[in-house]
Copies of this chain bind each other. A is one copy, B any other.
Amino acid sequence: MSHAISPLALPFPAMPPVAGVALRVARARYKTWDRCDLTFVTLAPGTAVAGVLTQSRCPSPEVEWCRRALVLGQARALVVNAGNSNAFTGDRGRQAVEAIAARTAAHAGCQPSDVFVASTGVIGVPLPIDRAEAGLDAAFVATPCDWQAAAETIGTTDTYPKGATTTAIVDGRPVTLVGIIKGSGMIAPDMATMLGFIFTDASVDPAFLQGMLTAANTRTFSCITVDGDTSTSDTVLAFATGAAGNATLVDDDSTGADAFRAALTDLCHQLARLVVRDGEGASKLIEIAVTGADNDRSAHRIAMSIANSPLVKTAIAGEDANWGRIVMAVGKAGEPAERDRLSIRFGATQVAEAGLAVAGYDEAPVAAHLKGSEIEIGVDLGLGEGSATVWTCDLTHGYISINADYRS
């Protein structure tokens, strides 16, 4: 956490423990830094797991490991490495993941396939197995820590630790959901979060948990973007320990399924926005709501075209109501759009309607809105019922400074 704290940062919330989950952190020294960089989480026997993973065609061996392990739907431990993503490291990378899983399984008394592994950091440098093992050994005997310590330990270029929590009543019992997440660049469509971990004491069937997480992802993590770049390591895992003792949620008809789904979606939404708030160099959080599109998918693509446009993002950074750049971004999305039906607003102020500037358009309220730290852009295409909302941040000198000298 070497850069100045994002001006959009939120304080770390009070987060309750989750029965069946124990957190520990240690120093594996993956980089020459004086901080914990290995997170070790144990999970009660019977814990269900679901996950969404990067769509990258060049994923890290950790992602491939998790993809296979998810098929079984059971988890007993999670290991997260920060400082080295272990991506693009060939056989040595695979060996590192296998070594971590084996050692953790031996310690926890479970199968290696019950162990989930995620790593984040520089690409192309094999994760040093000796350091991982020494870090694990230290973590195994460490005193359990709180959510904030774990959230800090999974971070890399993040400028603040990110966590969120919510609750639901399921089958008459209160259940807790918490999540921690890291990521501030390489955040993009089709699986946004670099690394996010959700824990609940609810009892949920793995397949049902997977369905709910996938659906929530579509409306949250897949709707955020910082720079349009997609990590080789993007991972969101959700663990349900079952310690709350509710009758296991198995499908939509289970008692409390709706409440749990809503809580899970809300949690994902909170976590996703926390990542955008730490977008590299961000000074403004931008919400882009597209309506009136041919369909939801088309609306999403148009919203992402706006959200990823460097010209739109620099205009917002400059507090410039340059709505022409939004027209440009709609036009380049390749989706159905008719220039003369297009309407655009900033905040509550309509600036363009039916293909041209609103008569007597007063820029003053728009200028005032753009001076704030949370910007709303609304685009109505006037074609159909499709809609989507996405979140991004502005593009500033800070992004250049962070990324032009990341490795040095």
| Interface residues, chain A, with chain B CB atoms under 8 Å away | 54-59, 85, 87-90, 92-93, 122-126, 185-186, 188, 227-232, 308-311, 314-315, 317-318, 320, 322-325, 327-340, 342, 352, 354-357, 395-397, 399-401, 403-408
Contacts and interface: CB of A to CB of B under 8 A. Distances in A.
A122 B322 CA distance: 9
Q: Which 4 A-B pairs have the closest CB atoms?
A: A123-B324, A318-B404, A58-B331, A56-B331
B331 A230 contact: yes
A400 B125 CA distance: 32
A245 B348 CA distance: 62
Contacts of A356: 88-90, 92-93, 124, 126
A33 to B, nearest CB: 19
| Most chain B beta-carbon contacts within 10 A, residue among A308, A331, A335 | A331
A404 B314 contact: yes
Contacts of A317: 400, 404
A322 B407 contact: yes
Contacts of A228: 228, 308-310
Contact of A315 (B336, B395, B404): B404
Contact of A229 (B57, B90, B311, B403): B311
B328 A123 contact: yes
Given A311-B185, A399-B310, A330 B124 contact: no
A347 to B, nearest CB: 18
A32 to B, nearest CB: 18
